[in-house]
Amino acid sequence: MQRWICPVASLYIENTYINLLFDRIFSSKYLPSEDDPLGSDGPISAPERDHPLKLVGTRGNDIYSRGGVSSSMSWVIWFTGLPGCGKTTLARGVKARLEGRGIRVKVLELDEIRRVITPEPTYTDLEREVVYASLAYMAKLLSEAGTNVIVDATANRRRYRDLARMLVPTFAEVYVKASLPACIERERGRKAVYSPRGIYAKAVDDGATVPGVNVAYEEPKSPEVVVDAEGLDPDQNADKVVAWIMETFEGS
């Protein structure tokens, strides 16, 4: 069976369990209903029972966790948006402002982490599920250890981000909103350290899966914060996000 290695805590995630994880969380069988307001746990199979990431119940669903959810977890904020919208610039600006206030933050930049998880990425649906599930679990582990986390990743399908929301009680989503033409123009001229070059130029290739062009980018339905990446400059947007964090998570 093929394996991918998650670089936090030497965690191995097999594609069988990734698919099982998503199926159990998002299957209507396990969601709350009028007859079953807490959600049905359903039968637990031998592979689930014996897997080191044991199932625990939360929000009416089953999720993989080590020992359940900690009430003292730090926060996790996922910055999502089309490639080239300005997520990385915003994440770094927010991190700098928070650390200037004495609040430590770790930024998980997907383009950097992907080089470890999938050194030769193919961007298939299965690969994306593994990568984003790994990223969500990394954020969970860090938050349980007392580290505030900013996730810098497109995550074009809502369910990738929803998994992190279910794993981390103190979770928020920041939608970095920009039009596709603006993102294409920005991406063409950016000089990122880890980001692949020419993302949108590759959209014409056979089998391309560029979010927003070849495959859908699913906008957040109810993000905690929306920033206008075209109407406001990065400093204004960073100030907006920091103000929300201070009011919501830091109690000031």
Sign, CA dihedral 195-196-198-203, equals negative
Worst-scoring range by mean pLDDT, 45-49, 61-65, 86-90, 211-215?
61-65
Average pLDDT over all residues of the chain: 76
What are the phi and psi torsion angles at 160 (to 5°)?
A: -65, -45
pTM of full prediction above 0.75: no
Distance, in Å, from the CA atom of 16 to the CA atom of 22, rounded to the nearest integer, reads 10
User: What per-residue confidence (pLDDT) applies to 12?
Assistant: 38
Q: Determine the average pLDDT of the residues in 214-235.
A: 94
What is the DSSP annotation of 93-104? Answer: HHHHHHHHTT--
Domains of the chain: 3-64 (no CATH), 76-248 (3.40.50.300)
User: What per-residue confidence (pLDDT) applies to 72?
Assistant: 55
Count of C-beta atoms within a 10 Å radius of residue 116: 12
Which residues have C-beta within 8 Å of that of residue 204, sequence separation ≥ 6? none
Q: Predicted confidence band at 88 (pLDDT cuts at 50, 70, 90)?
A: very high
Angle CA 23–25–31, to nearest 5:
115
User: What per-residue confidence (pLDDT) applies to 82?
Assistant: 95
User: What per-residue confidence (pLDDT) applies to 48?
Assistant: 39
Could you give the residue ranges of the DSSP H alpha helices within the chain? 15-26, 46-50, 87-100, 110-117, 125-144, 158-167, 180-189, 234-248
User: What per-residue confidence (pLDDT) applies to 125?
Assistant: 85
- Residue 146 backbone zone (phi > 0: left; psi -120 to 50: alpha; other: beta): left
Which residues have C-beta within 8 Å of that of residue 40, sequence separation ≥ 6? 29, 30
Q: Determine the average pLDDT of the residues in 205-218.
A: 85
The amino acid occupying position 2 is Q
Residue 190 has pLDDT above 80, yes or no: no
Residue 47 has pLDDT above 50, yes or no: no
Residue 164 vs residues 24, 83, 197: alpha-carbon distances, Å: 14, 20, 27
Q: Determine the average pLDDT of the residues in 197-214.
A: 80
What are the phi and psi torsion angles at 80 (to 5°)?
A: -125, 155
Residue 54 has pLDDT above 80, yes or no: no
pLDDT in tens, 103-137: 999 999 988 888 888 878 788 888 889 899 999 99
What is the DSSP annotation of 229-245? Answer: TTTS-HHHHHHHHHHHH
Distance, in Å, from the CA atom of 222 to the CA atom of 66, rounded to the nearest integer, reads 28
Q: Determine the average pLDDT of the residues in 139-150.
A: 96
pLDDT in tens, 61-72: 333 333 333 345
CB hemisphere CA count around 20 (13 angstroms): 19
Distance, in Å, from the CA atom of 148 to the CA atom of 138, rounded to the nearest integer, reads 12
